[in-house]
Structure 1
Amino acid sequence: MKSTEFYFLVLLLTASVTIVSTLMCYDCPLHHYDFLITPDNIPNFMNCTTIDTKQNFCSLNFYSDDNGKTSKLRANPNKGDEHASVSYISAGFDVPRGFDNTISFGLLYQCMTDNCNNPQMILKRILEASTIETYKPPQLSSATDLSSRAEPLTCFTYNNFTNSDECKPLFHNRQSSNAAEVCSTYCVTEIHIDSIDLKTERMCSYCEQDTKERFSYIDERVYLLDQRISRLQQLEYICNTSRDCNSLENIRQIQQRYRIEFDFDKFFKNSGTSMLILSVRMQYIGYFLFIIVIWLNNKY
């Protein structure tokens, strides 16, 4: 093979690999807005650039941490969840500990096509498809209130994590769903999606002795865009207001008081142009590789 032909072949193969392995993403620095962004008041996003990256996802992060009085937005490439291999949206809210009545909520869009996180193009569709109605469960009782109770606080205890060390404190032989534990601080229940199958809910309930600051309630859902299915990504509840307040039954009652929803049909209704661009791009890649194969067959 002549050196010029070899060089041409290397260029072709390098170009095809580059097309597949890199991703163009918008990079917009974190910006604060003194109003809540809605589908009807999408601002003009400034100081955004595009980056050629080898990260897995283009990301768009929108949230408000003061009951919806203001909003924040950031766009950038990132690695994403270790096991995630499809585009998705996560949505949820959290309630910090304390008595300032503050609730934070937000949306995270993770996508895998060039410039798919352009906020000017995609944020309106995300907001139109999303519903987050929050609720603040009863606040924690003080140590004085706990000591004056007629009966001691008991916590619902349970663990079905495959690795018992993931449920803190260590549970040893505590596996029963009807076990109860007297507690002088507060009760905790944590629910997470299994990191391997991304389907099974792993639950850990216990009495927490560490009184460090943490959120009193978190509910976050994930919406897989390719399959149009939703999963509970994580839920955490800290309480000491009543007997077995951290039980799954009580949590289900709390969940009935708020809504976290995502409408796939609304999200995809205006995506025809984007899908067409992606289809043309994939056809171009296929045609490009086909030409290489024909050229090699004719040459050898």
Structure 2
Amino acid sequence: SSLQCYSCKHFFVVNYLVTSDTVPSFSDCPLINATRCAIIVTWDLNNNDTVLLINNENVLSTKDTLEDSIAVMAYMERVPDQEIPIVVHYLQFVCMSSEKCNSELKLTSLIQTVSPFVPQSAACRELNNFTIECPPTDLDACERCQILVDKWPSASVELCATCPRTTPNGNLIARSTIFVLNNRTQLADHVQLDCQLKGCNSVDNINRIYKTSKITFDFGKFFNLSSNKIV
């Protein structure tokens, strides 16, 4: 059976990174009858532009299916004699389940759930009462939101929420602390969250990490075991 698909004759390029709020119009492209429709979006992070292909052809090979599918890819390549690596994000949507399923509205909803990280629209939180340096936000070079939190035994809380220039790891959740043996105390309970969802470096998410994880150390048991081993 066939269905109606939008089919733009050529791919088109826009000179910005497309987000769910900035999907360009392609509703003037003709409708054709086809067995499946397709949307392909390529975000070029080096040139800050986006290539869109809206049709029913030129899709990656997939087995025939009556189900809709999404293929996503993050791609980085270092080219010889080129200092900056090529960085591309890619989305392919193939649909067979409904008429005009490769519409602007469908693309908007797809990007809302599967999208490249765009610092300018990521709404990373910015808070800082750290006693040590908190990396400043740099929207031109930021790769992900970040929040660092130290909870001290005195009940004071220090935090640094930012969108820093570099994050050496990928998306990350980490919790750590130090127990001091000679006076049986605990230093700061530290949590780090590096993430790429909108507004994800929030205090609420930090509280979820504290709530769903635990680090404990039994000083009494440790010293009892140690003393029992002394001959």
TM-score tier after normalising by the smaller chain length = 0.3 to 0.5
Q: TM (normalized to structure 1)?
A: 0.35
Higher relative contact order (CA 8 A, sep 6+): 1
